[in-house]
Amino acid sequence: MRISELSTRTGVAIPTIKYYLREGLLHSGEQVAATRAEYDDSHLRRLRLIRALLEVGRLPVAAIKKIIEAVEDESLPVHNLLGTAQYALGPVVEPEPGAEWQAARAQVDRLIEERGWSVAAEAPARNELTQTLVRLRQLGLSTDLTPYAAAAQRLVSEVEMDTIPFDGPRETAVEAMVLGTVLFGRAFDTLRRLAHESESAHRLLLRPPPS
């Protein structure tokens, strides 16, 4: 198909598609004439991936680029590929100096070990979680993350992983993983806010009058 059809079918404006082509987020079409390139289903899929990561995942273009480079690097084994894609999803959090950070980081490492999770020592999510714990502690909020870890493990192992086609082409597996992480993550966050609104309505507006 031509770039105009690609634009109509994905809802992405032509100048934006050209920008993705220049930035290397989208692979080139097949040049069929001096001024015309032909695009196919792989371009449709890729544009939908980019749009979901941008709009729903609110990822910066640099992070999306890292994910796409990992998808395209055929020499990367699937597990490393998933790792790279996964690592690009979170922000980079630098450790802070001091004992407070060290204690929180030790708590994160202990939590991962207690759950029996296989997570690389250099996984950036360890520092990200450490930062959250430090802030929770500074603000006097609970730092018990056990119920959250249990809920995350249940959702990932019982629901999400079964939707990833590990035996198909590598690109399909990593796309499913990245999109699932971003979209279901956003869905869960929104559902939690809806549940908050409902619970606070019940507790504040609908509770029985004091006897």
Count of Cβ atoms closer than 10 Å to residue 105 Cβ? 19
| List 15, 147, 208, 209, residue binding its own copies (CB under 8 A) | 147
Closest to its own copies by CB, 31 or 200? 200
Residues 14-33 that bind its own copies (CB under 8 A): none
| List 204, 208, 209, 211, residue binding its own copies (CB under 8 A) | 204
Residues 68-127 that bind its own copies (CB under 8 A): 78-79, 82-83, 86, 89-91, 112, 115, 117-120, 123, 125-126
| b/e code 23-51 from CB counts within 10 Å (16+ = b) | eebbeebeeeeeeeeebeeebeebbbbbb
Closest to its own copies by CB, 33 or 204? 204
| List 15, 139, 208, 209, residue binding its own copies (CB under 8 A) | 139
Instruction: Please spell the DSSP secondary structure of 150-182, one letter per residue.
Output: HHHHHHIIIIIGGGS-TTS-HHHHHHHHHHHHH
Closest to its own copies by CB, 29 or 177? 177
Using CB under 8 A as the binding rule, whether residue 2 contacts its own copies is answered as no
Using CB under 8 A as the binding rule, whether residue 54 contacts its own copies is answered as no
- Side-chain-side CA neighbours of residue 70 (13 Å): 25
In whole angstroms, how close is the CB of 4 to its own copies at the nearest point? 19
Which burial class, exposed, middle or buried, applies to 156 when counting CB atoms under 10 A from its CB (0-12, 13-18, 19+)?
middle
